[in-house]
Amino acid sequence: MNSKTIMPYWEHFEHGADIGIRGIAPTLEQAFEQTAVAMTAVITNPDQVSASKAVSIRCVAPDHELLLLDWINELVYEMAVHGLLFKRYLVAINDGILSATAFGEAVDRQKHQPAVEIKGATFTELRVYQQPDSSWVAQCVVDV
């Protein structure tokens, strides 16, 4: 199967104390976007979040895995400091530089029922790789 036929998607995977987030998509950028949706889903149902605010994010890292770590940690920081939740993301990656926009809104405890806050992205199960069908996988465990 050609990766172009795969619809981008996200999933969670098991970790003893915490939770793994994974994005799978035809392109690296889309995989990063999906991993971030998986992160939102740790906190709340992404469908319950509206996309009324846009935040710009930029990260630079020497490899894809550290870039994913930085990307998730930037989002954790933005959420914590500005009291936000994100619904969707638009990511571009060129020469190890990630430029992105995250769309979301302020946390509303009644509406979102946020289950848990994320402390940070970890190196545990941190992997970014291409599958034989050429689709991309981007994953790590987040500490909650």
109: tokens are 């405890």
Strands 120-121 and 19-25: unpaired
Please say whether the beta carbons of 99 and 92 come within 8 A.
yes
Which among 23-31, 88-96, 120-128, 131-139 is the span making contact with other proteins, rule CB under 8 A?
120-128
Cα-based distances in Å from 128 to 12, 31, 44, 140: 15, 9, 24, 9
Which among 1-9, 22-30, 41-49, 87-95 is the span making contact with other proteins, rule CB under 8 A?
41-49
Q: Does 60 bind other proteins (CB under 8 A)?
A: no
Least distance from other proteins to the Cβ atom of residue 70, Å = 8
Q: Does 119 bind other proteins (CB under 8 A)?
A: yes
Q: Does 115 bind other proteins (CB under 8 A)?
A: yes
Q: What angle do CA 112, 116, 121 make, to 5 degrees?
A: 120
Which residues contribute to the site for other proteins (CB under 8 A)?
12, 14-19, 42-44, 62, 66, 69-70, 73, 76-77, 80-81, 83, 107, 109, 113-117, 119-124, 126, 141, 143-144
